[in-house]
Copies of this chain bind each other. A is one copy, B any other.
């Protein structure tokens, strides 16, 4: 089976947003993700103090392009205003695309 193009979405946020992010991932139709506990030093440019020095998580989720767009739009509209959060997408190729 050849590798299949997908999107990897990475969300770095306060740990307190964990449950809310998980709820959104289920809502947009993601089937699996991983959660890392990280030390984060937040963006100090425009929004000082927005992300705490400790207590952040990084969530990584593999999704088809359409789900990526839906996820990003929801994050931007409903989550960015409420939580210290960064989100980005990258192109990956997965095996077993049927899982996502």
Contact = CB atoms under 8 A, between A and B. Distances in A.
A36 B38 contact: yes
A96 B86 contact: yes
Instruction: Count the copies.
Output: 3
A98 B45 contact: yes
17 contacts: A3-B88, A8-B88, A32-B41, A32-B51, A32-B86, A33-B40, A34-B38, A34-B56, A36-B38, A45-B98, A46-B99, A62-B86, A76-B95, A80-B95, A86-B99, A90-B91, A90-B92
Closest 3 CB pairs of A and B: A43-B99, A88-B94, A32-B43
Interface of A: 1, 3, 6, 8, 10, 12, 22, 31-36, 38-47, 51, 56, 58, 62, 72, 75-76, 80, 86-96, 98-100
